[in-house]
Structure 1
């Protein structure tokens, strides 16, 4: 019971948000690499909707605590990667099965904005723990390929590149979530947590 927070402050919700990110990354790896078929898409949509709930809560708590970088990142991840992604997966699957044509290139235009934003925000992550920086850098590899494939500029034959980059981001997400939880519980560094590339 020693881990119960007896003060009125909220604890760090980032580990839960990282788990949601890892789930999404692993599932997209499975889809993009062909480990699962397109019939898994509605189920992936539901998992993303669950991730939306987690990441929205993380974003609100982070923003309340003054974490501008983490709070805003989780906020737009929760909205666009999770909520919109989840709903779109289910919609696209139903549209395909009902013979309805959708011009999904619009997704590429939205992903273009998200890719540019993450690239422009990346320097802020150089002041965060190294593992978080590596997650963002892995996403920086994946997102341009997803964007260009959705825009129809690159063929789906490039899907293995974002698939593996997302898997790497997911692995780092699992590790960082575990390090925060375990190190906090023990009050010391049980799992190594390398510091930021740029120190304040």
Structure 2
């Protein structure tokens, strides 16, 4: 018997949660849904926390610090904190709560700066689809921070999240198929 335990990578589940989260943000920021969707967005974002954390744990156990930490903070802020914030926004509109959402700009600014600074890791070690997705998230998050600070970049943020989610779907499908020994075109790393 071997003392080593093989671990499967749950990264594909993380990509599914990420794609759902980014496309919900796209729909909301571009006005395809209104604030009545926020309570559903809260519930779905809360559910997204589970695959994000599963992806984080398996990536860390597999020795991928960059991927594991990224999935971990995505689970914490893209999913869990967003779920709470969407619910707060939904009930604030009903009960007339006076809120200062500018504080969220600081959260998204930090997330955007960290993701932008670590994007070269993905460009060097991940498939092209992952890098394109992360660049879309870079744009979406940076613009979202500015939206909370009062700059009207909601549409640009939303479309950045659309790109992120689209290529996240490619990564999700590719990861699942790859786990079954099947090839799926995700592209080679953009930086050699």
Deviation, structure 1 residue 188? 4.3
Counterpart check, 1:194 vs 2:187: yes
Correspondent of 2:144 among 123, 136, 146: 146
Counterpart check, 1:48 vs 2:45: yes
Deviation, structure 1 residue 104? 0.7
Q: Tell me which residue corresponds to 1:137.
A: 135
Correspondent of 2:55 among 53, 58, 61: 58
Q: Which runs of 5+ in 1 are unaligned?
A: 1-6
Q: Tell me which residue corresponds to 1:9.
A: 6
| 2-structure distance, mates of 1:183, 1:21 | 19
Structure 1 residues 157-168: aligned runs within 5 Å: 158-168=153-163
Counterpart check, 1:25 vs 2:22: yes
| 2-structure distance, mates of 1:49, 1:68 | 24
Q: Which runs of 5+ in 2 are unaligned?
A: none
| 1:50-89 per-position Cα deviation (integer Å, ceiling 9, x unaligned) | 1111101210111111111110000000001110011111
| 1-structure distance, mates of 2:147, 2:33 | 19
Counterpart check, 1:72 vs 2:69: yes
Deviation, structure 1 residue 15? 0.6
Q: Tell me which residue corresponds to 1:35.
A: 32
Q: Tell me which residue corresponds to 2:78.
A: 81
Deviation, structure 1 residue 119? 1.0
SS in 2 for 1:126: helix
Count residues in correspondence: 188
Give the TM-score taking structure 1 as reference length: 0.89
TM superposition outliers: structure 1 runs of 4+ over 6 Å: none
Give the TM-score taking structure 2 as reference length: 0.93
| 1:121-145 per-position Cα deviation (integer Å, ceiling 9, x unaligned) | 1111112111111111111111111
2:170–2:186 Cα contact (<8 Å) kept: no
The 10-residue stretch of structure 1 (121-130 or 78-87) with the greater mean CA deviation from structure 2: 121-130
